[in-house]
Amino acid sequence: MPSLSGREVGHIGYGTMRMTWVPQPPSHEQCFETLNTALKLGANFWNAGELYGTPDYNSCHLLNKYFIKYPENADKVVLSIKGGTKRGELIPDSSEANIRRSVEECLRVLDGKKVIDIFQCARQDPNVPVEQQVTVLAQFVKEGKIRSIGLSEVDADTIRRAHKVHPIAAVEVELSLFDTTILNNGVAKVCAELNIPVIAYSPLGFGVLAGAFTSPSEIPEGDFRKIMPKFQENAMKENMKLVNEVKKLAARKGVAPVQIALAWILTLSGKPGMPTIIPIPGGTTVDKVTQNLECVPCLSDAEMNEIADLLDRIQVVGARF
C-alpha cells in the first residue's frame, strides 16, 4: 500500500472538486453517500480545496458537515487541502499573510472535525520564492496545525528547492492519457529520486475518458471545461481519436474506458525510475465512484506498449489547463 503523510492509503484516491465547484452542487445527501462509498471501497485519500467553490461554500464546509455526521470516519481519511490563492479568486498569493489566512480559514471552517494531513498552495506565486512559501507552511507543521506540506503544479527544479527546506509529502500534478507532460519534463523523475508520491489529478482527462461528453456542445453552460483549449470544436474532433482507441482497448479487455485510463497510471506507478502515483478521480454519484474504484488490473507489457504507440501516433491537441 502507498503511504502519504505517514499514513497508508489506497492505490486510488478521491477528488472532491466537483462536489462544490460546479454551478449546481449535488445535495449533501448525495455527496455523503458518495464519500462513504469511496471510503468503503478503499479510497481513503481525499483531495479537497479552499478554492473549490466560494468563500462561503467550498470543500471545507462540505467536509465539516460530513464529519459532524460521520465522526468515526475522520481518522480513516487522509485529507489534502489546496489553498494559497487570494480569497474568492483563482489568483496565486503565497505571501506569508495570505498563506496564514488560507490555512487558518480552512482550520476554522473544519472546526476541529478533521485534521489537515497535507496542505499545499494550489499554484506557485511567481512573486514569491517556493522556499519562502514552504518556510511559512513548515511553521504550521511545527505548531501541529497541519501534518505535512505538499506542492501543486510545479516543475522539477521547484520540487528540489522546496524539498531542501522541508520534506515534501506529495506533489499534485495533472497526469492522464490526455496529458503525459510530467513523464517528459523531469517532474516524475525527481519525485522518484526524492521518494515523493505523485497525486495525479484529472486522471480521466477532465471526464472525457469517462464518456462525460464527446463534443463541446455537451458540456454544460458555466462548466469551466467549456473554455479549456482541448475541448474546443476543432481540438475535440482530433482528441476524440485517442478516446475512441481507448474505448476499443477497453472493449477487448471487457472493462470500461475509465478502468483502462486508471490501470495505465497504476501500472506506471513504482516502475523503475517512476514514483508512486496515486490517481484521484472524482465522480459525484455512487455508480461513478464504484466504477472508478472497482478492481483495476494492471496492464500487461503488451497493452502498455500498445498505449505507448497510441500516444506517439495520436497527439492530443490543445494547451494544458
pLDDT tens digit sequence for 165-190: 999 999 999 999 989 999 999 999 99
E strand or H helix at 321: none
| Residue 77: predicted pLDDT | 98
Distance, CA of 126 to CA of 271 (rounded, Å):
33
Band the pLDDT of 229: cuts 50, 70, 90. confident
Distance, CA of 106 to CA of 111 (rounded, Å):
8
Helices (H), the chain: 17-20, 28-40, 59-69, 96-110, 130-142, 156-165, 187-194, 233-253, 257-268, 286-293, 301-313
Domains held by the chain: number: 1
| Residue 297: predicted pLDDT | 72
Judge whether 20 lies within some domain: yes
Judge whether 18 lies within some domain: yes
Q: pLDDT digit string (tens) for 89-137?
A: 999 999 999 999 999 999 999 999 999 999 999 999 999 999 999 999 9
CATH code of residue 188: 3.20.20.100
Judge whether 194 lies within some domain: yes
Asked whether the whole model's pTM tops 0.85, one would answer: yes
- Identify which of 146-160, 207-221, 255-269 has the greatest average pLDDT: 146-160
Q: pLDDT digit string (tens) for 38-82?
A: 999 999 999 999 999 999 999 999 999 999 999 999 999 999 999
Judge whether 164 lies within some domain: yes
Q: Could you tell me if 179 and 202 are in contact, meaning their C-beta atoms sit under 8 angstroms apart?
A: yes
Distance, CA of 114 to CA of 146 (rounded, Å):
11
- Higher model confidence: residue 170 or residue 21? 170
Catalytic residue numbers, as ranges: 52
Judge whether 283 lies within some domain: yes
* C-alpha 93 chain-centroid distance: 20
E strand or H helix at 131: helix 130-142
| Residue 206: predicted pLDDT | 81
Band the pLDDT of 87: cuts 50, 70, 90. very high
| Residue 321: predicted pLDDT | 67
Average pLDDT score over the chain: 92
Range of the domain at 26: 3-206+258-295
| Residue 156: predicted pLDDT | 98
| Residue 317: predicted pLDDT | 77
Judge whether 188 lies within some domain: yes
Residue 226 reports pLDDT greater than 90: no
Q: Could you tell me if 296 and 263 are in contact, meaning their C-beta atoms sit under 8 angstroms apart?
A: yes
Distance, CA of 5 to CA of 149 (rounded, Å):
9
Judge whether 320 lies within some domain: no
Judge whether 124 lies within some domain: yes
Q: Could you tell me if 171 and 159 are in contact, meaning their C-beta atoms sit under 8 angstroms apart?
A: yes
Share of the chain above pLDDT 90, in %: 75
Which residue type does 193 have? E
Q: Could you tell me if 254 and 177 are in contact, meaning their C-beta atoms sit under 8 angstroms apart?
A: no
Q: Could you tell me if 67 and 109 are in contact, meaning their C-beta atoms sit under 8 angstroms apart?
A: no
